[in-house]
Structure 1
Amino acid sequence: MRLEDAKPKAGSKRRKKRKGRGIAAGQGASCGFGMRGQKSRSGSGTRPGFEGGQMPLYRRIPKLKHFPIVNQKDYTVINVRGLADLAANSDVTLTSLMEAGIITTDDGPLKILGDGELSTALNVKAAAFTRSAREKIEAAGGSCEIV
C-alpha cells in the first residue's frame, strides 16, 4: 500500500450544510435554529460554563489557596525517641535502622526529628537534622554527621 492509495471510506466524508441559502437548499430562512432567541443569532452562542447570567460554577467554588512545592524532597523520618533504645556509641544510618527493624520502609534519605529524649551517645549519619534533634544528640555526648 502506498500513500496515494490511502483514501477515506466511501460515504464517510459529507459536504458541509450551507445554511441560509434558500428553501431549496433544505436549511433556508431560520436554518433550523428556530424563531428567536440567543441560540438562533449569528456567532458562537454562549461561552463554555455560561449559565444564563447565574453565577457560574467556576466562580462559586473556592479557589486554590496554596500551591504544592515543586520537586519536594521526601525523607525517611525518625524522632530522637526512636533512637533511645540503641546501644551507646553505635553508628546510626538508614541501613542500620532498617536492619534493627526500627524503620520498615525506605522513603528516601534519613532525617532526624527532635521529638523525645535521648540519654545515650550515638554517632548519627543522616541527610538532615532538625535544630532540636542536633542539640539533643550532641547534649547526650553523640555526634551528628550530614551524609
Structure 2
Amino acid sequence: MHKPVKAERKRQAQRYRSRPHYEQPVNFSVGDYVLRSRVDEKLHANKLRVMWVGPYRVVGTADYYFAVEHLVNESTMDVHPSRLKYYADGSLKVTEELLDHIASQGTLLAVDAIVEHRVNPDMQAYEVKVKWLGLETIEASWEPLKTMSEDVPQLL
C-alpha cells in the first residue's frame, strides 16, 4: 500500500519541479541598473512591506547573489536576486544631473541623530555627522555645524 502512494508522490514532485515556475532565470547582467528592496524598519506593523531604493549598478555576480554599487556614494553590497528589480539597461547615461536627482530625489530629510563631530581643517569649521530619519546608516552625511544649528537648534 505504501509503495504506490510513495511512487505517486514522487511523480507529483517531479511534475512540480518540471514546471516553469519552479526556477525562474535571473535576467540581470553586469552593467544593468536595478532597484533594491529594503524593509522599512520603522513600519513594525507590516514587516513584509518593502521600499525600493536606488538605482544601483550591477558590478558583479555570484551563484546566489549580485554585487551592486550605489551610484552616489559608490558603496557596494551583496544582494539576493529576489531583492532586486530591473531599472534600466547598461546603456543608461549617468550624468551629473541624474546623480543630483538621485542624491536628493526632492525629499525633505529629518534628523534622526547626531552621530559624530569633527573639525574640518580645509574649511576651518566644525562639522557634525547626521543620521537621517528613514535612511540607512551608510547614508549619514557630514554637515556644517553652523547650518545644522540654524536648521535644527533643538538637537545641538
| Structure 2 length-normalised TM | 0.20
Which protein is richer in helix relative to its size? 2
Comparing both structures, which one devotes a greater share of its residues to strand?
2
TM-score normalised according to structure 1 size: 0.21
Bigger Rg, structure 1 or 2: 1
